[in-house]
């Protein structure tokens, strides 16, 4: 008798969970559609005000790639961006969310970034998670959080953006400094990718999931940039080789390195050449248009192929 009641109880639980799941999907789809409609209206109004022509994808030079069919099907492309508290990472989150995709914004201390907090309140499809790429335990915990957010869905894009910068010469380097750059700029992004392989392999993106490892022109032998930023450049050159190895190990993924250009962030400084939104909108296009031909390549933000 007891087992009959317990079976009935389990049945009722399953029905309630299924109904809750359906309601959650519907609410999430409706919210996303409303946000997207507001963005389209804003886009149209903006174009009228500034008299600019609406290009396929562009609002003030930004790419817009709406996914109405995915919204209704409950499978908008899903991105994860590391180092999203400021600079290039924060702008990636903003542009991805504005384009209507879902984004998991990972940051060392998301609660300390006012800009990220404000952004996540404006877009229901931004989830914030804590991730310190210097700490393997933090990466593992963050990957578990990601699985909770994904609920069995796949991760379509990983933007491995977080990094540390700094200037030095080879003659000045001490072991601690050297290893701290290698940890943040090569090992960190590699462990992030490793922890997210199962999620990436569930991606339903037709051409395969995209992994962008953010590098720098300073890490290129071919560009011959000189003595500066020795630890930073060396750690990014190591990341470049690791990216090449990843692309060989996982031909089912599209994995490449990207130089964002010299950008006006805390790392790039005021004197840099590129505005953050411009660099990111160009990089965004490289990611969404990526095919298997791009795997294992060294790209600049505008799609130019750089020498290793
Ligand atoms: N700006 C340029 O001119 C330029 C040029 C070439 C390449 N890049 C590359 O572009 C990427 C973004 O650079 P950016 O200019 O936006 O730099 P940024 O303004 O200095 O921002 C760096 C980001 O990385 C995060 N970060 C650093 N260490 C971290 C850690 N251990 N765990 C988690 N997050 C961490 C920072 O978080 P916190 O706020 O917690 O510190 C911040 O969000 C980097 O990979 C950089 O090497 C930039």
Verify whether ligand 1 is closer than 6 Å to residue 112 (CB atom): no
Domain boundaries, the chain: 1-54, 60-300
The alpha carbon of 109 and the centre of ligand 1 are apart by a number of angstroms equal to 13
Any idea which fold 60-300 has?
Rossmann fold (3.40.50)
Q: Supply the pLDDT for residue 43.
A: 42
Specify the ligand 1 atom closest to the Cα of 274: 3
Task: Write down the mean pLDDT value for the chain.
Answer: 85
**Tokens 């335990």 sit at which residue?**
137
191: nearest Cα among 109, 246, 112: 246
Determine the Cα–Cα distance for residues 83 and 129; give it in Å rounded to an integer: 11
Contact 213, 189 (CB under 8 A): yes
Determine the Cα–Cα distance for residues 246 and 197; give it in Å rounded to an integer: 11
Contact 125, 101 (CB under 8 A): yes
Pairing of strands 58-59, 62-63: antiparallel
The alpha carbon of 268 and the centre of ligand 1 are apart by a number of angstroms equal to 9
**Percent of residues, the chain, with pLDDT higher than 90:** 76
**Percent of residues, the chain, with pLDDT higher than 70:** 76
Angstrom distances, CA of residue 42 to CA of 60, 120, 126, 207, 282: 12, 19, 20, 31, 21
Angstrom distances, CA of residue 3 to CA of 7, 14, 15, 16: 6, 16, 18, 20
Q: Supply the pLDDT for residue 65.
A: 44
Q: Supply the pLDDT for residue 14.
A: 57
Given phi > 0 = left and psi -120 to 50 = alpha, else beta, which region is 74?
A: left
Higher pLDDT, 37 or 306: 306
Verify whether ligand 1 is closer than 6 Å to residue 109 (CB atom): yes
Contact 184, 133 (CB under 8 A): yes
Q: Supply the pLDDT for residue 60.
A: 32
104: nearest Cα among 75, 134, 127, 137: 127
For ligand 1, atom 37, the nearest C-alpha belongs to 83
Verify whether ligand 1 is closer than 6 Å to residue 287 (CB atom): no
The alpha carbon of 162 and the centre of ligand 1 are apart by a number of angstroms equal to 5
The alpha carbon of 207 and the centre of ligand 1 are apart by a number of angstroms equal to 28
């Amino acid at each position: 008798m007891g087992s009959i009641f317990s079976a009935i109880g389990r049945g009722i639980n399953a029905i309630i969970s299924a109904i809750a799941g359906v309601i959650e999907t519907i609410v999430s789809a409706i919210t996303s559609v409303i946000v997207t409609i507001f963005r389209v209206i804003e886009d149209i109004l903006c174009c009228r005000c500034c008299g600019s022509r609406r290009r396929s994808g562009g609002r003030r030079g930004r790419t817009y790639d709406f996914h109405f069919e995915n919204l209704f099907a409950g499978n908008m492309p899903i991105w994860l961006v590391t180092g999203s508290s400021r600079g290039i990472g924060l702008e990636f989150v903003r542009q991805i969310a504005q384009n209507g995709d879902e984004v998991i914004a990972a940051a060392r201390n998301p609660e300390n970034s006012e800009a990220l907090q404000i952004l996540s309140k404006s877009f229901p499809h931004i989830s914030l998670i804590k991730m310190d790429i210097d700490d393997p335990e933090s990466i593992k915990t963050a990957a578990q959080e990601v699985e909770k957010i994904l609920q069995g869905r796949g991760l379509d894009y990983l933007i491995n953006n977080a990094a540390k910068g700094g200037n030095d010469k080879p003659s000045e380097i001490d072991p601690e400094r050297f290893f701290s750059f290698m940890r943040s700029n090569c090992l960190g992004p590699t462990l992030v990718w490793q922890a997210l392989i199962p999620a990436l392999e569930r991606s339903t993106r037709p051409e395969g999931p995209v992994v962008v490892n953010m590098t720098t022109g300073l890490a290129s032998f071919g560009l011959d940039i000189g003595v500066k930023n020795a630890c930073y450049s060396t750690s990014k050159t190591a990341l470049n080789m690791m990216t090449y190895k990843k692309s060989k190990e996982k031909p089912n993924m599209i994995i490449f390195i990207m130089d964002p250009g010299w950008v006006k962030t805390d790392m790039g400084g005021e004197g840099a050449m590129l505005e953050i939104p411009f660099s990111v909108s160009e990089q965004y296009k490289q990611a969404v248009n990526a095919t298997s031909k791009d795997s294992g390549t060294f790209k600049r933000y505008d799609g130019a192929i750089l020498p290793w």
